[in-house]
Amino acid sequence: MEIFFGAFTGEWEQRRAALLHELSLGGKRRSAEDEMKRRLKAMAAQGGDGGAGPGGGGGSRPKMQRAAARPIFAAETRAAAASRSIEARLAAVAQGSQPAVVKMASYGAGARVGAMLNYVSRGGELAVENENGERISSREDLARLRGDWNHLFQNRAESRDIGSFTVEIATAAVSSDDAMHELVRNSLTSAFGDRRYAYAVTRQADGALTVQGAIVLRSGQGERLTGDDRAASIIQARYDASAAAQGAARFSFQGYGNGVEYGAGKLRSLVERHDGDVRDDRGQVLGDEKLAGDLVQKEWRGDLHSRKGRDVMHLIMSARAGTNVEAFENAARDFLAEQFAGHRYVFAMHDPANDPKEEGEGGKRPHVHAHAIITMRSESGDRIETTPQVFREWRATMAEKARAQGIAMEMTDRREFASPPAFTRNQVRPVSREGRTEHVGTSEAAQGRYDAKRGGRRSLAKAERSREYAIKATQSWQKIALASGDRHVVAFAEQQLDHLTASLSASQAEASVNVIDADFGSKFRANLVTLQKVVLEGQEMRETTRAEFEAYEKKVETALFRLERNVGPDERDDFDEVASVAREHVNGRRELMELYELKGQAQTEQGTATRRDGRRDDANEQWDAAVAKHGEAVVEAANDILMDIETSREGLDRIEAGELSNDPRVLRADIERGLARAAELAVQGNTYMREVAEKDPELKRAIEVAEQTQQRPTEEQGRTPANVDAVTEQQREARLGEAERRPDEVAEREAHDLASTVDATNRLQDKLNRDKEAAQRGDETTRTDPAQQHIPRLEEMEREERERRERDRDDRDR
């Protein structure tokens, strides 16, 4: 069977297919050494120039084709990370994407590979998958991996840092506990020299003393004991030759270990066994486990000069609880295949459904995660670099592979959220594994870091580069809050913006405390104090206006000018440094002020839009409720009349306010006619009109009058004086009487009234035509938005007022 490798999309699938094809042909897998020999022979047959450098040396090791792709993959990863902008990543996080988590658990020498594989596979109960896609499920196959990977290990032995010792002092004539401890310390110091140690004493029945303890194996001069029988013989000889050898003391070592973690564990165990009666080489009592851990972490750490082999690394990739396990496994597989091409590795999935380890023992974690054991050196000799930039690239690649599997995931940076730094495994020790593992810090500083991380305390890196990145992230959150229409995204972005802004302000205030650090002599102290007070005013400035900031900036520059006048040539460099720091502080305040301005503008725009939308939404909701209660036809019939009444009332209010100069009697007549029509509609059975009348006293009185009028005889219904004809007749009689009193003005007044009447008639006819056309064009629009129906009438009244004023001006000109 022939296999076409190009048909497979993943490199791990190609490698797996190649392996299966080779096995199907009955061949055996060549070891890495055989493959290397074959390639060297092929290169030698071509003239030997393939493995030589420019100088012609042939001793350099050629790179295998499989590993040669790694720089290409790294370049592709960097390009992908660069192409995904910070705004795109943060917007996705605001919409619910989870952060990519790729973290280093530990390094290990080749000797620890077996233990690390045993942990990942849960003692062989979980199958692991290697770089070729093979599933390894038996303990025998796992044990063989150590031999398969051995050629990639340096097999560098770990340093022996801490040793466990025992001293038997046969006879000890001491009068008190203090004298006993003095005797023990003299004996130990005469044998150990300047090495640091801690011990506990047990008094035997026959008066002999048994001393147990832990010691730093490296001395201040660089001599390192091996912590075995040979080292015990060396120590014994030194003790015997010392002046402190008063009795028969025998030294021995019971073991040794590497690193701070081993030493802290030994001391805590010693404290627990001896109920806190443990002392160090300086006589200080270590009464509890915390003091024992602090001794190793704070005082012994620098004396250890610890080293350990880094042949393999333990990498963890994790996702939120509820993430699809199969999709995440595929993403982890693709990530490892791309990022660590050419390296040997295995990985296993740990999810709560299939984890054989019990929760109380550290298993069945609620979130899905994958463990990988990876060789630090590839088949071609390249070693993995572990720098912050490399970890950032790993997270970007992991997020890319997860998105390809349908998992919303993004690479994030703690500076984008003002998150506290993570704690390391050497800074804490576990105290509970129920659910989420709980830890305690191995020192006060470590405990503070742990509390900050678990408590979500906001903090910002102090480096200038990190501060600049945080400002960029703040601007990105600002853009997201302004551009998004989703209120949840806006709320999340504004929350992160507040966190970053507060952290930037706090870090700037903290830095300002030390803004003046030079000493120009006593004659400059007054100006220095003045400058410091002026600069530190910015510490109390939070949401300051631009005018306040400009005044503050001017005060700082004035203080710097006064200080500069008293600076001598020898002090110029110090002054320049102080001035630079002061102006940097001012620039930081300027950036914060501009951010607050942007935030205020965004809140104002959002609030205005919200109020406008709220008013329109309220009107539409009232309309929908009325239609649901009374029926659309009933509400529309009543609404047409009510809008005319409301328009006339608003026009009358504007006339009384002096905004319009129209005749108020015309509008009052319009209101009376509208109320009469509304009352008639209510009497005919329009329930919506009666509902509105409960909140409108004039309309309610009009309905009562209409009901009474309906009960009167028919001949009395025509006597209602409240109509336009009656008003017009009264106005005509008044004008006639006035004409009789002033005959000289009759001709001019009559001409003017005639022109006004004709003009008003024409305007009324034009208005009726325009209203009819507007009703035909926008009937549906006005009915769906009741709050806008009275606007055309107001515009018409304003237009009539302008036309009237123009006519009056023309009349005066004539």
Residue pLDDT, tens place only, 704-719 = 888 887 766 554 544 4
Element (H, E) at 765: helix 746-784
The answer to which of 62-66, 87-91, 694-698 has the lowest mean pLDDT is: 62-66
Give the Å distances, CA to CA, from 102 to 302, 316, 320, 407, 456.
Answer: 30, 6, 13, 15, 20
How far apart are alpha carbons 587 and 594 in whole angstroms? 11
Partners of 103 in the beta sheet?
316
Instruction: Render pLDDT for 733-742 as a digit per residue (tens, 0 to 9).
Output: 544 454 444 4
pLDDT band (50, 70, 90) for residue 89:
very high
CA atoms within 13 A on the CB side of 331: 31
CB 215 within 8 A of CB 300: no
Q: Report phi then psi at 460, rounded to 5.
A: -130, 140
How far apart are alpha carbons 719 and 699 in whole angstroms? 21
What is the model's pLDDT at position 569?
Answer: 73
Nearest to 167 by CA among 215, 230, 205, 226: 215
**Over residues 628-652, mean pLDDT:** 83
Higher local confidence (pLDDT), 61 or 375: 375
Percent above pLDDT 90 for the chain: 20
Higher local confidence (pLDDT), 755 or 183: 183
Element (H, E) at 360: none
Concatenating the DSSP letter of every residue in 454-518 gives: HHT------SHHHHHHHHHHHHHHHHHHHH---HHHHHHHHHHHHHHHHHHHHHHHHHHTTS---
The amino acid sitting at 733 is E
Instruction: Render pLDDT for 460-499 as a digit per residue (tens, 0 to 9).
Output: 777 778 888 888 888 889 888 888 888 888 999 888 888 8
CB 372 within 8 A of CB 346: yes
Helix (H, G, I), strand (E, B) or coil at 415: helix
What is the model's pLDDT at position 294?
Answer: 86
CB 505 within 8 A of CB 592: yes
Rg for the chain, CA atoms, rounded: 45
The answer to which of 49-58, 134-143, 567-576, 750-759 has the lowest mean pLDDT is: 49-58
| Cα 190 to chain centroid, rounded | 57
Q: How far apart are the first and last CA of the chain?
A: 110
* Residues composing the chain: 814
Helix (H, G, I), strand (E, B) or coil at 107: strand
Instruction: Render pLDDT for 191-244 as a digit per residue (tens, 0 to 9).
Output: 999 999 999 999 888 878 899 999 999 998 889 999 999 999 999 999 988 877
**Over residues 752-781, mean pLDDT:** 54
Q: Report phi then psi at 362, rounded to 5.
A: 105, 5
3-state secondary structure 57-97: CCCCCCCCHHHHCHHHHHHHHHHHHHHCCHHHHHHHHHCCC
What is the model's pLDDT at position 694?
Answer: 86
Nearest to 310 by CA among 145, 113, 66: 113
Residues in Cβ contact with 270 at an 8 Å cutoff, skipping those fewer than 6 apart: 198, 200, 212, 213, 214, 278, 292
Concatenating the DSSP letter of every residue in 182-238 gives: HHHHHHHHHHHTT--EEEEEEE-TTS-EEEEEEEESB-TTS-B--SSHHHHHHHHHH
| Cα 457 to chain centroid, rounded | 12
How far apart are alpha carbons 515 and 580 in whole angstroms? 10
Higher local confidence (pLDDT), 117 or 650: 117
Helix count and strand count (H, E) for the chain = 27, 15
Higher local confidence (pLDDT), 751 or 111: 111
pLDDT band (50, 70, 90) for residue 149:
very high
pLDDT band (50, 70, 90) for residue 516:
very low
What is the model's pLDDT at position 518?
Answer: 41
Higher local confidence (pLDDT), 166 or 455: 166
> Pairing relation of β-strands 369-375 and 409-410?
unpaired
Nearest to 153 by CA among 308, 283, 321: 308
What is the model's pLDDT at position 610?
Answer: 60
Q: Report phi then psi at 701, rounded to 5.
A: -65, -40
How far apart are alpha carbons 378 and 153 in whole angstroms? 10
pTM for this model (two decimals): 0.49
pLDDT band (50, 70, 90) for residue 82:
very low
Partners of 255 in the beta sheet?
164
Residues in Cβ contact with 527 at an 8 Å cutoff, skipping those fewer than 6 apart: 559, 562, 563, 566
Helix axes 86-94, 487-512, angle to 10 degrees: 120
What is the model's pLDDT at position 514?
Answer: 45
Give the Å distances, CA to CA, from 101 to 300, 325, 398, 569.
Answer: 33, 15, 8, 55
The amino acid sitting at 205 is A
pLDDT band (50, 70, 90) for residue 773:
low
How far apart are alpha carbons 623 and 629 in whole angstroms? 10
Give the Å distances, CA to CA, from 421 to 52, 403, 459, 492.
Answer: 46, 26, 8, 21
- Is it the case that residue 60 has pLDDT exceeding 50? no
What is the model's pLDDT at position 741?
Answer: 47
Instruction: Render pLDDT for 526-576 as a digit per residue (tens, 0 to 9).
Output: 555 555 555 555 444 455 677 777 877 888 888 787 777 777 777 777 777
